Structure 1
Amino acid sequence: MSKHAISLFILLLTISFSEAKKARFDTKAQEKAAYNEDGFLVDIVVQEIKPTVQAIDPTNACKDVDHFFAPAEKHLGRQGEPSKKHNKCLQCKEWIISDITNLQRHIETKHLKNNFESKLRGDINERKASLETIKLEQKTLDTHLQDMPKEERVIHYSELVFKWIAMEWLAETDQPIGALEHPAFHCMIQVAAQATNSVKIPNQKAACKEILERFYEQMAGLKARFACDTVTGEISLTCDAWQASNLDAYFAVTGHFIEKQSDAS
């Protein structure tokens, strides 16, 4: 073997030995990097993989719109000018302005028979109210019960009881002491005493209505009286205002006129 061949053979062995040594060094370095200084494996960082397809939400409020309408697109106006975006109804081929509420109202009015629940606020509140009503009916027995008629409590008359109730009425309603001696009060008591069963006392609304009706009747009678031939002069008015001890204010108006006596009288 020549010297040149021997030198080439030695060079190849040296290169092979260097590459093998470098590979062993890299492997040891990687193994060493996989452990920390305490000799434990280093945590592996896992790269987060984001999904490329979004999941469909079955409770999506626009699901009915996506089902009944085509995607929004530019829609030309009557004169050919550009207008707002519109959605085309796949059922009746009508173009509706691209607004969720408008589209849902179109479905509600034109396509009532569909398999989607309306997402309009009024319809949602109505469904919630009906659900609450059903829950209350299930929890209570009101539908199976009836209210008993109220029985009027009749207090038997006695002088002691009547005197006590009269004093209570004076104090509770701020009546003057002389109210018990007024002829109108005596008349009311006499009429009530003749009742065979019970006395129906009018409430505040009924009393107000009765007083106003009598007032209007009295005013109509005065107008007719002033318009007759017996009252030819002027009417003099006087007024008076005062405040009671309970801070109630009063204003009174009095009219004076002269009425001629008829020949018959």
Structure 2
Amino acid sequence: LVKDVSTLRRHLQDRHYASLQQNTYQKWCTLKNFTSKLPKDVKIRKDEERKRVKQSTLDFPVQDAATVSATRPRPYSHKEFLQAALEWLIATDQPLRALQHPLFQAMINLAARAQHGVEIPSRAIVRREIIELFNRKLREL
């Protein structure tokens, strides 16, 4: 009896490898759809696998400081917020009181809590939501 199967494999490889390689063992492995477990064959398979599979790198999370600072949002500034609000009022032809509207302020306060920026919905989504809201209110009447 053998203590361990790997001991038998090592014995076969060390003492009988030449005769095993005369296609008797290889034919049997192919016929039975069996993968050779002899240490040399296992090593060959592992080496081929290592050549085939390339180790991934950590380059993608590593960025230079210029790239990081360009993608990181600037900290909040009241002056910049005022400038953005004025540009929005003018570009969308909003009345000056729009900034004091409670719903506008609630929306700004909600957006301020966002951890990873705010996703602005598309016109199609806004249109669909307005129609659904209108229909809901109509059913409630």
User: TM-score when scaled to structure 2?
Assistant: 0.48
Compare relative contact order (CA 8 Å, sep 6+) and give the higher one, 1 or 2: 2
The TM-score with structure 1 as length reference comes to 0.26
Relative to total residues, which structure has the larger strand share, 1 or 2?
A: 1
- Which one has the bigger helix percentage? 2
